[in-house]
Amino acid sequence: MAGITPSLTSSSRSAGLVRTSIEKLYLSLQRLTENTIEDIVNRSVNHKNMNNHNDLNINNKYKVLFVCLGNICRSPAAQGIFEHIVRENGMTEKIAADSAGLYGGHAGQHPDRRMRTAALYRGYGLTHSARQVRGYDFNDFDLIVAMDDQNYEDLMHIAPSVEATHKIRRMAEYLTTHKISYIPDPYYMGVEGFGLVLDLLEEGCQNLFDSIVKAESL
């Protein structure tokens, strides 16, 4: 039995070294992925924002504004998913989108790194630069979509006219298979939370797109 002990000790050390190597490799890949996403965002955000501004000034487009609290998680993800659907359906000449937050403290920032990572794994590149909701958004956009009830109430409160309130909708109104009345904020929910939000937004944005095309006869 005494002769077996060194072998077991050696095996344990080898297993430990392998485990450590795997953990280091995982962390390196994670950092590489995050840096790659950051590089993609940095190289494209200015070009994206310029094009988006020009697109939204074209009067014959149906324009949608997605709104959450800080404009760094839910609303930029909704914008990215919705724009992807618009492109896939060849409707970029007829429909445009943007996003904004009711809180202006994140103005100029990129979407949350965790949301960008989760979205990129699904094929959505989020390049939006955060901004606060502005008074003239109620005139510039045909539809304003709130992520949760508080966002909805705040938008209704700051809307400049009764007519403007008719443009405000809840994102959850466009959910059919998911039985939930709002889009939760994933900021404190962990990885699973970001995945859930993307699931909800994919369904909601597709149904929203379909409803616009039908209602506007596009």
- Structure tokens given for 69: 């609290």
pTM of the model: 0.76
190, with CB counted inside 10 A (0-12, 13-18, 19+), is exposed
The mean pLDDT of 51-78, rounded to a whole number, is 83
pLDDT at 7 over 90: no
pLDDT in tens, 131-184: 999 999 999 999 999 999 999 999 999 999 999 999 999 999 999 999 999 999
Which residues does the annotation mark as catalytic?
A: 68, 74, 185
Contact status, residue 62 vs residue 212, Cβ threshold 8 Å: yes
Within the chain, strands assigned E span 62-68, 95-101, 143-146, 168-170
Query: What kind of fold does domain 45-216 have according to CATH?
Result: Rossmann fold (3.40.50)
